[in-house]
Amino acid sequence: MKYVDEFRDGEKARALAEQIRKEADPARRYHLMEFCGGHTHAIFRYGIPGLLPENVRLIHGPGCPVCVLPIGRLDMAIALARRPEVILCTYGDMLRVPGSGRESLMKVRAEGTDVRMLYSPADALKIAQQNPDKEVVFFAIGFETTTPPTALVIDQAAKLGLKNFSVFCNHVLTPAAMHAILNTPEADSGALELDGFIGPAHVSTVIGSAPYEPFPQQYKRPVVIAGFEPLDVLQAILMLIRQLNDGRCEVENEFIRAVSREGNLKAQAAVSRVLELRASFEWRGLGAIPESALQIRSEYAEFDAEKRFGVEQLHGRENKACECPSILRGVKNPRDCVLFGDPCTPDNPLGSCMVSSEGACAAYYSYGRFSEGRIPAEELRA
Amino acid sequence: MCLAIPVRIEALIDAERALADIGGVRKEINIALVDDLSVGDYVILHVGYALNKLDPEEAARTLALFEELGQLQEAYDEAQAGEGGA
Ligand code: SF4
């Protein structure tokens, strides 16, 4: 595939890894957070931790929408699915996430409710048109990448005059979560070791690179936006190491083939026509973050499932032994969880980080064998 | 679930729809979020929607950077080997 294969070349990956070893100062440590779950997945899939020297550490961030959705919101979706008139549509991963008391949409579906998996939100409109006697609710989750399609679908439903379609909106914002990570008690106490961010690829195609500019300025943390292929990630790591070595602190863009400073203005306009900032939204692991999520504007209120069904705000019961909240704050690793691998596995997830392939626990579980051992420099050269 | 892939535009249907080559299969995608697309352009496709156009020149520039690094590495390896042999 063009624009994919060239960025997976093993030979060049080794050259980049070697360059990282040459430039990483053995006298210091580099703690780099990949914010986005797409990067977490790529990093494990391609064994990137094994290519890095001991003093370059990757920390997995909260950029996995399935992982950060609080249990209460999932419980609300389950309550919606249980209404006899409702067909609840959502992305595949959401079906397996455990809610309070280990209920999930999959289990609720087995009870005979109508829960459907979507590839595209446009399919939810079709389902609404095909089922005029039912209420079709699209359970929308995701960061800025997934938000513009949701906005378009709501707009289209309005144009079509659909009376049986609504959206349970759970769209969240990347920069708000990055601020939150740098303002946790662990960040204040110094327990969070974090020297710089690998910025998201596809989120940034939409929002551009400008929204990251406060992080170097306010928090002295450099940001390098990176594509999702292994060479992109290695190059971004090298760029971060260079910034830290030089004492520079700025936003750099490795993914220039798809990200500009201003982003996709047309997509941003589509989003702000239909959606607006929520005063506050609860995140798993990070708690309530002001202005960190979007809600449907009052002009489109009839398409807002929360209003249409008067959905009660639920708070949910966390599985106490699950370490997802600390993992999402960047202060724990999946291996710190006593449930990891036994009994918690991708087939039997006990927490949200084990569900999506972008979750840190699922990535560790599926590709964990690469994550521990570091490849010695001599072998890398061979 | 945030996964998105680069796909090639094969034909434009109207201002909001196009056909794209997805793993060898032609599928209809929504292009309402991206302006000025032509056949042959590559876009990043996510949940059925084109999110942005890929810039072939910038992609080539990034690849050239890796190329350069590879050559440096080769030269370095040769120099090392030369030293070792002396
Ligand atoms: S291994 Fe399972 S229970 Fe433990 S933190 Fe990860 S998702 Fe939660």
Question: What CATH number is associated with residue A207?
Answer: 3.40.50.11750
Across the interface, do B4 and A91 touch by the CB < 8 Å criterion? Answer: no
Instruction: Confirm whether A185 is domain-assigned.
Output: yes
Residue A318 lies in a domain: no
Count of CB contacts below 8 A, A vs B?
128
Residues A168 and A179 both lie in one domain: no
Tokens of A249: 């602190």
Q: Is any atom of ligand 1 closer than 6 Å to the C-beta of A361?
A: yes
Q: How far is CA B82 from CA A104, A314, B66, B76, in A?
A: 63, 69, 24, 10
DSSP A177-245: HHHHHTTSHHHHHT-S---EEEE-SHHHHHH-SGGGTHHHHHH---EEE--SSHHHHHHHHHHHHHHHH
CB A13 within 8 A of CB A233: no
Residue showing tokens 């370490």: A323
- Residue B79 pLDDT > 80: no
Distance from CA of A373 to the nearest CA of B (A): 24
CA B58 to chain centre: 10
Q: Are both A182 and A247 inside the same structural domain? A: yes
Confidence (pLDDT) at A370: 46
Q: Are residues A185 and A246 located together in one domain of the fold?
A: yes
pLDDT score for B83: 56
pLDDT tier at B60, thresholds 50, 70, 90: confident
Q: What is the arithmetic mean of pLDDT over B51-72?
A: 84
Q: How many domains does one find in chain A?
A: 3
Number of structural domains chain B divides into: 1
Range of the domain at B47: 5-81
Asked if A163 and A96 sit in the same domain, the reply is yes
Pick the residue from chain A with its C-alpha nearest to B72.
A15
Kindly give the distance from the C-alpha atom of residue A62 to the centroid of ligand 1, in angstroms, as a whole number: 14
CA of A43 to the centre of ligand 1 (A): 19
Cα A237 from chain centroid (whole Å) = 19
How would you write the pLDDT of chain A (382 residues) with one tens digit per residue?
888 888 888 888 898 999 999 999 999 999 999 999 889 988 988 889 889 999 999 999 998 999 999 999 999 999 999 999 999 999 988 999 988 888 999 999 999 999 999 989 999 999 999 999 999 999 999 999 999 999 999 999 999 999 999 999 999 999 999 999 999 898 888 889 999 999 999 999 999 999 999 999 999 999 999 999 999 999 999 999 999 999 999 999 999 999 999 999 999 999 999 999 999 999 998 899 999 999 999 999 999 999 999 998 888 888 889 999 999 988 898 989 999 998 999 998 998 899 888 899 998 888 874 444 445 445 554 4
Could you tell me if residue A319 is inside a domain? no
The answer on A290 and A267 residing in a single domain is yes
Query: Would A34 be classed as within a structural domain?
Result: yes
Same domain (yes/no): A127, A267: yes
CA distances from A12 to A9, A123, A135, A230, B5 (A): 6, 41, 52, 10, 22
Residue A315 forms part of a structural domain: no
* B86 within some domain: no
- Domain span at residue A373 reads 324-380
pLDDT for B2 equals 52
Distance between CA A72 and CA A324 in Å, rounded? Answer: 15
Based on the domain organization, do A153 and A271 belong to the same domain?
A: yes
Task: Mark yes or no for CB contact B70/A6 under 8 Å.
Answer: no
Mean pLDDT of B25-53: 94
Residue A23 lies in a domain: yes
CA A231–ligand 1 middle distance (angstroms): 29
The verdict on a CB contact (< 8 Å) between B33 and A152 is: yes
Please state whether the predicted TM-score (pTM) of the whole model is above 0.95.
no
pLDDT at B11: 96
Q: Report the pLDDT value the prediction gives residue B70, as an integer from 0 to 100.
A: 67
* Closest CA in chain B for residue A208: B52
What pLDDT does residue B86 have? 39
CATH of the domain at A166: 3.40.50.11740
Say if residue A181 is in the same domain as residue A105.
no
Residue B31: inside a domain? yes
Closest to A36 in 3D by CA, of A222, A195, A227: A227
* Joined tokens for residue B52: 């942005």
Q: Which atom of ligand 1 is least distant from the CA of A351?
A: 7
Q: Which among A219, A234, A253 is the end of a domain? A: A253
Residue A317 within any structural domain of the chain = no
- For residues B43-58, average pLDDT: 92
- Judge if A277 and A132 occupy the same domain: yes
Q: Whose CA is nearest to atom 1 of ligand 1?
A: A340
In a domain, B47, yes or no: yes
Is residue A198 within 8 Å of A236, Cβ to Cβ? yes
Q: Looking at the structure, tell me whether residues A281 and A302 fall in a common domain.
A: yes
In this structure, is residue A112 part of a structural domain?
A: yes
Element (H, E) at A112: none
Of the residues A233, A253, A273, the one at which a domain ends: A253
Q: What confidence score (pLDDT) does residue B1 get?
A: 53
Specify whether A208 is located in the same domain as A75: no
- For residue B47, the chain A residue with the least C-alpha distance is A120
Same domain, A159 and A268: yes
